[in-house]
Each structure stands twice: as structure tokens, then as C-alpha cells.
Copies of this chain bind each other. A is one copy, B any other.
Amino acid sequence: MRIPNHIGIIPDGNRRWAQGKGLSKEKGYAYGLHPGLELLRLSQKLGVKELTFYGFTVDNTKRPANQTKAFQQACIEAIHCIADEDVSLLVIGNTESKMFPRELMPLTERKIFGQGGMKVNFLVNYGWEWDLANLLRDSAQESGIISGLKSNDISRIDLVIRWGGRRRLSGFLPAQSVYADFFILDDYWPDDKV
């Protein structure tokens, strides 16, 4: 089995999962923590070198406040869980907006946790337009567009896996995803993975 070097994860379907369980929409996010950790450990075991989680986006922050608070909280907790593993962790997104949780600021430079190892990137208040805007022209010309992006510490993605059945990128790292294979699962993200 050929293992992709870098997998992008779009963990969609939390709200639909919650509604299916008779919960209010915003309750779904907390149930995404365990699946994320499971997936991270499985990826480490398989030798994946880099994993990028689509936390939440600038687009997402237009939702009702009870939802934005719930997914911000879920991202903070997920990132704390990830920091308990052996990883090289980076949180990336638009920190200039108040939607970016302050407590994650120290993680916006890549940090080694435990033994280090797999690169894990977590997008928080990420916007594709924010990422592409003001391309650092000189570095982009010398060594490719990605080096000129705000997300330049995230490498080219080999495989994007999206949960929740929707067949689109929804703004996920457009430059890094240009050659990525897409794999869509109809399961909602909080559903059991096995």
C-alpha cells in the first residue's frame, strides 16, 4: 500500500450528526475530538509525514454565535489533545481578527511536542483569500507560489479526505491542493471511524 506523505482532513458533518442524534447543531463539534485523535494516531502508525486539519474558516465565522463559540472551543481542545502527542505542531490562520482564539497565539510558530515526528497543521480562522493575498512576490518567484503564501510552512497535499458527503474543497488550501486526490466519505465526521 502506497502511503500519502501529506493528508488534508476536512472534518465535515458535525452539525448534521448532532441533529441526527436529536441534539442542537452546535453540540456536534465536541464529538469530533476523539475521531481526530484516532485518525492522527493511525496516520502516525502508517508513516504519514504530514497531516493538516481544517479547523474553521473565516467563512464559518459568519454563523450564529452559539455555533462559532462551539467550534472555536472544539478547536482549542483538539489542539491541546494533539499537543499531548509526539508531533511538530503549527496553528495557522488569520490572527488579526477577534475570531482567532488568543490562547492559540503561541502555537502560530511551529513547535515540537513530545518526541516530535509527524508534522501536524491545524487551520484556525483560515481564509483562502487571506492566504493568497499579498503573495510574497520575491520568494514566490524564486521557489514557487507556495513559498510566497502565508501558509508557506504547509507542503503540497497528496490526498484530501472529506467527511460528510460534500464533494468540494470549500476553500481548503487551494495552492497546496492543486494536485491532491480527493476522497469523499458520506459518514459524518463524528461517526465511528471503524
Q: Which residue of B lies closest to A169 (CB)?
A: B178
Q: Is A188 an interface residue (CB 8 A)?
A: no
Binding-face segment, A30-38, A70-78, A132-140:
A132-140
Please name all residues of chain B whose beta carbon is closer than 8 Å to the beta carbon of A179 when the two chains form the complex. 168-171
| Assembled-state Cα–Cα distance A133/B137 (Å) | 8
Contact A175:B178 (CB < 8 A) given known A145-B129, A145-B132, A145-B133: no
> Is B169 touching A177 in the complex (CB atoms < 8 A)?
yes
Q: Which residue of B lies closest to A171 (CB)?
A: B178
Q: Is A167 an interface residue (CB 8 A)?
A: yes
- The B-contacting residues of A in range 142-193, CB under 8 angstroms, are 144-145, 166-172, 174-175, 177-183
Q: Is A141 an interface residue (CB 8 A)?
A: yes
| Assembled-state Cα–Cα distance A180/B168 (Å) | 6
| Assembled-state Cα–Cα distance A179/B171 (Å) | 6
Please name all residues of chain B whose beta carbon is closer than 8 Å to the beta carbon of A168 when the two chains form the complex. 179-182
Contact A167:B145 (CB < 8 A) given known A132-B175, A174-B175: no
Please name all residues of chain B whose beta carbon is closer than 8 Å to the beta carbon of A177 when the two chains form the complex. 169, 174
Distance between A173 CB and nearest chain B CB, rounded to angstroms: 9
| Assembled-state Cα–Cα distance A167/B172 (Å) | 16
Q: Is A128 an interface residue (CB 8 A)?
A: yes
| Assembled-state Cα–Cα distance A135/B174 (Å) | 15
